[in-house]
Amino acid sequence: MQSFRTELENPLVEKDIIDLANKIQLFREGKIHDEKFRSLRLARGVYGQRQQGVQMVRIKLPYGKMTFKQWNRIADISDEYSIGNLHLTTRQDVQVHFVSLERTPELWAKLELDDITLREACGNTVRNVTASPTAGIDRKEIFDVTPYADAVFRYFLRNPICQEMGRKIKMAFSNTEEDTALAFIHDFGMIPKIQDGKRGFKVVIGGGLGAQPMMAYVAYEFLEANQLIPFIEAGLRVFDRHGERNSRHKARMKFLIQKIGFDTLMGLIAAERKALKNQTVEIETAGFSETEIADYLPTLISDVKAPETEAYQDWLATNTFRQKQSGYYGIYVRVLNGNISSETTRSLTSQLAGYVANDVRVTINQGLMFKFVKEENLAYVYNVLKAHGLAEAGANSIAKITACPGTDTCNLAIADSTNITSKLEAVIMEDFPDLIHNNDIKIKISGCMNSCGQHGMAHIGFHGSSLKAADKRVLPALQVLLGGGASGDGLGRSADKVIKVPTKRGPEVLRVVLNNYEENALEGEYFNAYYQRQGEKYFYTLLKPLADLTTLKEDDFIDWGASEQFATEIGVGECAGVMIDLVATLLFESDEKMEWTEIAFAENRVADSIYHAYSVFVSAAKALLLDKSVTVSTQNAVITKFDENFVATGDVKLGDKTFTELVLQINQYEPSVEFATSYIAEAKAFLGLAKAYREQSVEA
């Protein structure tokens, strides 16, 4: 066994990292099945790339926040373990690519020295909790959502409820009704409200993009702040038990609502309340204000004079804004494809320290935001950014295109989404330069239909695809989508799939659409209003000539950024995790979960121990069902099918209780020591029965 050790003072984190190192060794020795190992590393932020033998490591930054020290730490990590590039994501994470699997525990340990985690950045878990980057400084916000986003992030990190769900859960906090964090496309989305003098949130649930976008349902117009975490916890418990676990394409919260109905879901959530760890959770808001954090506010004043250039005036107009704190400005930084080098990072931090707050935010459009910049220092910061090629205007405009990595690194990508981004941005800057002042239209592009680049809610969206020419050759293509976007206050609209065109014609699609909009829109008419007035068929007809495959050229068979003829090479996607269908592995997991149960109980984490015990029941029961070739797709089905196939037949005797009655005690009792003692003992006894049955089955 690998004897990996760390310098960390947090024993919980150290145990996590050592466990990853040990699991890697067991995997290399052939003692852990490939599918099981994949799910283990995904939950620890380690994601397989398109390129064999290397990993993408996703660094989880709650609401996109980095101190200068953390940002430099990530840059150093990228130099030492990766290729010196930091990729900023739409979920306010940072990714580094081309990392050796064996080096990931060491990489993680070094990140944790500055309180940066990989835990649950990928896999079937609660992913990063995102928030509006302007939270805390926005003149339009009624209160700062940052403490609440932080509390939710920390409450569910390592929480036993959300370690092995059927699929990922995404949460977002918008700080105003403009919904700049896109609550409407999240499993749980929150927008701040005040009612009768009390803080709370409008809560929406069940949103999501992917191949089948769905807009979130309104769960509460107002939910008091101290009820937020209990509601989310109850929702996660229901999703864990009733959510799909076989078909990854039907395993999100949105599909559970589609299957059982919104009212039924809310009823199940209400039924879980009695069993929750906490009936209310008061969220501490102290310690998040700039006046409460040492070394937070900038201290230096520059004597740099403002450049007398149109470029500087455009930058001021589009990339800066006045904060609610008098005398301070926020600055958005436009980053092409979200890629910034470690060298640039260190140079920026050395030159900006003291001139901007010690609080850098990754934005959801793959950019950066600096806070608390004195008006006198705007010119200085501009000059620093310009020297690094980061002073392009229009940071939140149509000119800033969001794009996932696509075929650069992702297994699922069909066509390029990064090289074409620079071509599309060039169309804006060369043909429509005035649109750098237009923040209404958003362009987003993904390498496939899964919408990691959020094309499904773009005003103008593209996703990678393919087409077949008359001579049967395959060429790269773009699916064009129009009309999506946020409506505000947790509402939104998914984009319509309008037409598919060869990818090399993507820039011309953009020209045609924007020219048509500029020529025919009514005075003051926003793009989506114009699109809805004209209709999908109008734009299909408008773009149909660009979909004509009888005029193809040889260059159309070569993707952007490529030199060879296009071929679809789709690997196995990992974002959703995988299913384990091995009886022995499930029983091994049950033993491990029993160990977690007993540790949690010994540490007086009573509610956690109860949920771990529940997982023991389900995992062991699923193992025996698989032994009989009984397929189940939800935990709830595991419970009912076990009664049908084992208890009713007399194969397993549970005394005077059915398996359903035994297991579902979990939501019938408050999490007391007395109940935990009884429930854990029953789980341990059931695991013993399951293992004995398996042994007899193998012998037979």
Convert the pLDDT of each residue in 485-520 to its tens digit: 999 999 999 999 999 999 999 999 999 999 999 999
The bridge status of strand 474-482 relative to strand 94-99 is unpaired
Q: What is the pLDDT of residue 18?
A: 87
CATH of the domain at 318: 3.90.480.20
Residue 207 lies in a domain: yes
| pLDDT at 389 > cutoff 50 | yes
Inside any domain, residue 11: no
pLDDT band at 569 (very low <50, low <70, confident <90, very high): low
Asked, for residue 157, whether it belongs to a domain, the answer is: yes
pLDDT tens sequence across 348-383: 999 999 999 999 999 999 999 999 999 999 999 999
pLDDT, residue 577, reads 38
519 and 645 part of one domain: no
- The CATH number given to whatever domain includes residue 617 is 1.20.120
292/306 Cα distance (integer angstroms): 32
- Given 252, 273, 288, the domain boundary residue is 288
pTM (2 d.p.): 0.92
Tell me, what CATH number does 217's domain have? Answer: 3.30.413.10
- Residue 253, in any domain of the structure: yes
Do 273 and 164 fall within a single domain?
Answer: yes
Task: Place 589 in a pLDDT band, splitting at 50, 70 and 90.
Answer: confident
If asked whether residues 152 and 266 sit together in one domain, one would say yes
pLDDT at 576 over 70: no
The answer to whether residue 39 is domain-embedded is no
Q: Give the CA-trace dihedral at 524, 525, 527, 532, to 10 degrees.
A: 180
Pair (146, 205) in one structural domain: yes
Q: Where are the alpha helices (DSSP H) in 261-377?
A: 262-272, 310-319, 342-352
Q: Quick one: 233 and 142 in the same domain? A: yes
pLDDT of residue 52: 81
Looking at the structure, tell me whether residues 471 and 373 fall in a common domain: no
Reported as a single tens digit per residue, the pLDDT across 393-402 is 999 999 999 9
Residues 656-678 have a mean pLDDT of: 95
CA angle 550, 555, 559 (to 5 degrees): 110
320 in the same domain as 223: no
Number of domains in the chain: 4
501 contact partners, CB below 8 Å, separation of at least 6: 477, 478, 480, 509, 543, 546, 547
Determine the pLDDT at residue 579.
35
Q: How confident is residue 30, by pLDDT bands cut at 50, 70 and 90?
A: confident
Backbone angles phi, psi at 377, to 5 degrees: -100, 0
Same domain? For 492 and 528 the reply is yes
596 and 659 in a single domain? The answer is: yes
The reply to whether 141 falls in a domain is yes
Asked if residue 675 has pLDDT above 60, the reply is yes
Task: Please indicate whether residue 21 or residue 577 has the higher confidence score (pLDDT).
Answer: 21
In this structure, the answer to whether residues 284 and 349 fall within a common structural domain is no
* Average pLDDT estimate for 326-340: 96
> Does the pLDDT at position 53 exceed 90?
no
Q: Is the pLDDT of residue 483 over 60?
A: yes
pLDDT at 2 over 50: no
Residue 316 resides in a domain: yes
Q: Does residue 452 sit within a domain?
A: yes
Q: What is the pLDDT of residues 138-171, one digit of tens each?
A: 999 999 999 999 999 999 999 999 988 889 999 9
Residues 274 and 329 in one domain: no
Of 258, 288, 318, which closes a domain? 288
Same domain? 249 vs 302: no
pLDDT of residue 249: 82
Average pLDDT for the chain? 92
Place of tokens 């939270």: 135
Domain that includes residue 221, residue range: 124-288
Among 288, 316, 336, identify where a domain stops.
Answer: 288
Rounded to whole angstroms, the Cα distance separating 128 from 60 reads 6
